[in-house]
Amino acid sequence: MNKLFGTDGIRAVAGQFPLDYSSICTLGKTLMNILKNENHSGSVLIGRDTRESGNWIEQALIQGIGDAGGTPVSAGIIPTSAVAYLTKTHAFSAGIVISASHNPYEDNGIKIFSSRGIKISPEWEERLERAIHSREDVTQKQFRIQPVPDLEHDYQEFLKSRFSQAVSNKRNKVVLDCSNGASSNIAPRVLSELGFEVLTTGDAPNGKNINFDCGSLYPQCLAKKVIEAGADIGVADDGDADRALWVDENGRILNGDHTLYVLSRFMKKKGLLRSKHVVATTMSNLGLELALRDLDLELFRAQVGDKYVLEQMIKLDANLGGEQSGHTILLDECPTGDGILTSIKMLEVMVSEDKPLSALVAGFKEFPQVLLNVRVSRKDDFADYPEIMETMESIQHELGNDSRMNVRYSGTEPLARVMIEGRDQDQIESLAQRMVSVISKHLG
């Protein structure tokens, strides 16, 4: 049986298996049956991003949940993190997000949260996969449910309540790129109501322009706008707004490692860190590890994927973790990454410290890093290919002790990712290309 769930739910071209109408309807019905067996009430919250396929996918889920005796509730277009938060705080049995995050609009996906607001267990995923693989054709019914506006309002009020500083007299200027996605209405409104001067871009979704030349995939576009506007910070959301990247006042693009450094330093100063551990992933820069060490904090590296970060945070009793890609989990606030919440917290630090973003990240010196993607036809175990393993060992030996290499498969796309970091840019670029060539030879 082919595995359908990756590190971030099911993701595929909308309309093709496993995101065809019958498969999605079967997923909704099976999820409802699982919830019944677990003695849940059967109310399921559904939210989506701005892709044109989101409408009929929501319809299929509503039909499947309803046919199994459940009560589907729509939150409409809303960030992934909002569904996680609202599922937990409003006592829904489960939450479903229809989104393919940073993928192009032709793709879509389904993420499922438990009643605790965290991603469902592997056991539940396996039960859903079995049902989808053995699905039968479903006749589509014609009905819809209207989004409940109070849900979006409650989420917005939650976000505003997380900003604990009075806005400074100079009114920090923010350029906000919503990626034509799920944050397009909510993020500008929240930041404006908190008193910031907000200039928006990527806030006119049409169903097909999500992530297109905008958002966290193209922060260089945001960097130009920050310089032109003389802004204090640029914020780049992704399509479902569960992560965010930054541009400082000088136009420098910053990532999730910078977020962890700024927030950990501030939270330690305020006595808000529950432990000495900050959780990141194998992709985070070695410079972050050294910078945290200077703060007497320890970086713990989890497997790539925000669900793995959360898993280790819970084990270590850590309340701050995240990924270089921009997922940041503030566990005292929300059980999943939230780009808007993280933006608020970064602005809170800027206001509280009365420093520009460039000064806040000055203590973090990044090692040169190269990240290359290799399109693969299959995701076999690298250990099955002696030349791949020999090349890995040879490169590790050449890199020495003050450098790192990480080779892994993407959890959401048919890609192998090669990351190398060290002190010599030319060396790591050459070695990364060598690793890519060998992987492509055997798996491309």
User: Do the domain assignments include residue 22?
Assistant: yes
CA 160 to chain centre: 21
pLDDT band at 2 (very low <50, low <70, confident <90, very high): confident
Which tokens is 132 given? 């989808």
Residues 102 and 196 in one domain: no
Kindly provide the b/e burial profile for residues 198-210, where b requires at least 16 CB atoms within 10 angstroms of the residue's own CB: bbbbbbebeeebb
pLDDT band at 166 (very low <50, low <70, confident <90, very high): low
Tokens of 64: 């499947």
Please check whether residue 167 lies inside any domain of the structure.
Answer: no
Together in a domain, 342 and 383: no
Residue 271 falls within a domain, yes or no?
yes
d(CA 50, CA 207): 5
The active-site residue, picked from 101, 114, 179, 325, is 101
Mean pLDDT in residue range 410-427: 90
Provide the whole-model pTM. Answer: 0.89
* Domain-embedded: residue 159: no
Q: What average pLDDT score do residues 389-403 get?
A: 90
pLDDT of residue 411: 79
Contact 284, 259 (CB under 8 A): no
| Pair 255, 307 in one domain | yes
Can you name the residues that pair with 201 across neighbouring β-strands?
177
Residues 293 and 144 in one domain: no
CATH number at residue 433: 3.30.310.50
In this predicted model, what pLDDT tens digit does every residue of 296-331 receive, in sequence order? 999 999 998 899 999 999 999 999 999 999 999 999
How far apart (Å, rounded) are the C-alpha atoms in residues 380 and 141? Answer: 41
Q: Among this protein's residues, is 168 annotated catalytic?
A: no
pLDDT of residue 169: 55
309 membership: H or E segment, kind and range: helix 306-316
Q: Which of 154, 186, 208 is the last residue of a domain?
A: 154
Extract the tokens encoding 410: 């993407």
Query: Directed axis angle between helix 54-67 and helix 21-37, to 10°?
Result: 40
In this structure, how many other beta carbons lie within 10 angstroms of the beta carbon of residue 211? 27
- Return the DSSP state at 119: B
Q: What are the start-end ranges of the E strands in 238-336?
A: 244-247, 253-254, 277-281, 298-302, 320-322, 328-330
Measure CA 162 to chain center.
20
User: Residue for token digits 């079967």?
Assistant: 26
User: Do 373 and 356 sit in the same domain of this protein?
Assistant: no
Give the separation between CA 237 and CA 244, rounded to whole angstroms.
5
Range of 41's domain?
Answer: 5-154
Flag whether 52 is in a domain: yes
Q: How far apart (Å, rounded) are the C-alpha atoms in residues 158 and 416?
A: 38
224 φ, ψ to 5°? -65, -40
- Structural domains counted in the chain: 3
Asked if 149 and 192 sit in the same domain, the reply is no
| Residue 395 reports pLDDT greater than 60 | yes
Q: What is the mean pLDDT of residues 226-233?
A: 98
Residue 186 belongs to some domain of the structure: yes
Burial class (CB in 10 A: 0-12, 13-18, 19+), 173: middle
Q: In this prediction, what percent of the chain has a pLDDT beyond 90?
A: 89
The last residue of a domain, from among 318, 335, 360: 360
Can you give the CATH number for the domain in which 349 is found?
3.40.120.10
Given 360, 394, 420, the domain boundary residue is 360
Residue 180 CA, chain-centre distance (Å), reads 16
State the chain's mean pLDDT as an integer: 95
Kindly state whether residue 160 falls inside one of the protein's structural domains: no
Per DSSP, helices labelled H in 361-424 are: 386-399
Q: 142 and 12 in one domain?
A: yes
What's the confidence (pLDDT) of residue 8?
Answer: 87
- Inside any domain, residue 61: yes
Q: Domain check: are 378 and 312 in the same one? A: no
